[in-house]
Amino acid sequence: MANVGVEAAAAGKRALVVTGTGSVKKNGLLDVVMSALDSEGVEAVELSGVVPNPEIGSVREGAALCRERGVDMVLAVGGGSVVDAAKAIAAAADYYGDPWDFFDKKAKPAKALPIGVVLTLSATGSEMNGNSVITNPETSEKRPMYHPALYPRFSILDPELTFTVPPDQTAYGVVDILSHVFEQYFHNVQDTPLQDGLAETIMWTVVNYAPLALKKPDDYNARANLMWASSLALNGLLAAGTGGGDWASHMLEHELSAKYGIAHGAGLAVIFPAWMRRVYKTNIVRFMQFAVNAWGVDPTGLKEEDLAVKGIEAMENYFRNTLNVPVTMADYGIDGSRIEEMADSAMKHKKLGSFMSLSRDDVIAIYETALGS
C-alpha cells in the first residue's frame, strides 16, 4: 500500500477512483488511497456505487466522467466487480458509442486508459488479466470482454485488506478461484505435466487454506495464499499450450447472475457439478486424475467411472459442507421456467465448450441437472 501513490503517479496525473458500495469508505481504506494520491500530486475523481455483478450503467457514468474531467488513468479500489468496471471504463473513455457494444461483440476497444488496482477480495483474478465481465440489467445479459490493453499497469495485493471479507464472500471467492482452474485443467491435450502440476498445486492450496481463512479471518498466511492463487489461476499461465480453456461453465453461470442476481461464485458452485456430470465420459482419464490429485480420492479397488464420479462428489461436498455454499438452483429458490431462455442467451455469440462441445440439448440438460430437487 505504501507504493500506491507512486505507482499511480507513474500512470497518470488525474485518476478516476472506482469503488463499490461503501466498505472501503467504512474501513478507512479509501482515505489511505486518497492521501497517497494527493501526496504524489495525483488529482482524484471519485466514482462509487459499483455493485456485485457490475452493471453497464456504472461503466457509462465512469466513461463520461473521464471525458468531462480529463482523467488519464483509472484506479480500482475493491474486489473483482470494481476492477472489471474500471477496466470497462478505461476502454470506453475514448469510445463515443455505447460501451455495451464491447460486450455485445459490436465493437472492440482501440485502446484503454492505464489501469491500477488495490485489491480487497481474492476471487476473480482480474487484477492480473485482460478480462472484464459486465451485466446489462436492461437485457438481462452478462457478457465478457477481453483485450490486452485491459491488463492493469499495477496491482497492489495486500492480504491484510481481505481480513474483513465476510465468510460468504470469502467462500464465493474460493469457488471462483477453483473454477478458473477447472476451466483450464479440463482439456484434451496430451503430455502436459507441468500445466497439470501447476493447476493441481493451486487447487490443493485453495482447498486447504480456505477453511483456515474461514475459521480465522485474519490468518495472514491463509489470506496470502488465497490471494496469490487468485492471480495465478487466471493470468494465462495455466492455459499455455492447452488451447485456452473450456469456459462453457462460466457462460452458463452468467445467465444465473444476470437473471437471478446471485453471486458469481455461488452460481459456479451450482453449474460446475452439473457440467462435470454431463461431460466426464469425454475424457474419463482426466477426471480420474482430478479425483486423485486434486481431491485425494483413494483409487484402490475403484473402477474408472466410479473413481471419476468420486472426484466430482468430493468437489461438490467441499462446496456444500466445507464452504457452506449451496450446489443447486433449488437451494436459491430458482425453478426451471427460464432454462430455454438461458440456454439461448448463453449460446448467443458462439458454441460452448472445448473439452466437450455443447449442443443446445447439452446446455438444457446441464441446467436441468443443476436444478436439483
Task: Give the pLDDT of the chain (373 residues) as one tens digit per residue.
Answer: 999 999 999 999 999 999 999 899 999 999 999 999 999 999 999 999 999 999 999 999 999 999 999 999 999 999 999 999 999 999 999 999 999 999 999 999 999 999 999 999 999 999 999 999 999 999 999 999 999 999 999 999 999 999 999 999 999 999 999 999 999 999 999 999 999 999 999 999 999 999 999 999 999 999 999 999 999 999 999 999 999 999 999 999 999 999 999 999 999 999 999 999 999 999 999 999 999 999 999 999 999 999 999 999 999 999 999 999 999 999 999 999 999 999 999 999 888 999 999 999 999 999 999 999 6
Cell of 194: 507441468
Given this model, what pLDDT does residue 250 score? Answer: 97
Helix or strand holding residue 142 (H, E): strand 141-146
**pTM: predicted TM-score of the whole model, two decimal places:** 0.96
Q: State how beta strands 131-136 and 141-146 pair.
A: antiparallel
- Asked if 68 and 16 touch (Cβ cutoff 8 Å), the reply is no
Q: How far apart are CA 351 and CA 314, in angstroms?
A: 29
Sign of the Cα pseudo-torsion (275, 280, 285, 287, in order): positive
Given this model, what pLDDT does residue 22 score? Answer: 85
CA dihedral 73, 112, 257, 97 (to 10 degrees): 110
Given this model, what pLDDT does residue 296 score? Answer: 97
Domain ranges in the chain are 4-157, 167-371
Compute the C-alpha angle 144/145/146, nearest 5°: 130
Kindly indicate whether the domain formed by 167-371 is annotated with CATH number 1.20.1090.10: yes
Kindly indicate whether the domain formed by 4-157 is annotated with CATH number 3.40.50.1970: yes
Q: How far apart are CA 267 and CA 347, in angstroms?
A: 17
Given this model, what pLDDT does residue 349 score? Answer: 85
Q: How far apart are CA 118 and CA 120, in angstroms?
A: 7
DSSP 8-state assignment for residue 9: H
β-sheet bridge partners, residue 346: none
The greatest distance separating any two alpha carbons of the chain, rounded to the nearest whole angstrom, comes to 68
Phi, then psi, of 168 in degrees rounded to 5 = -65, -40
Given this model, what pLDDT does residue 350 score? Answer: 82
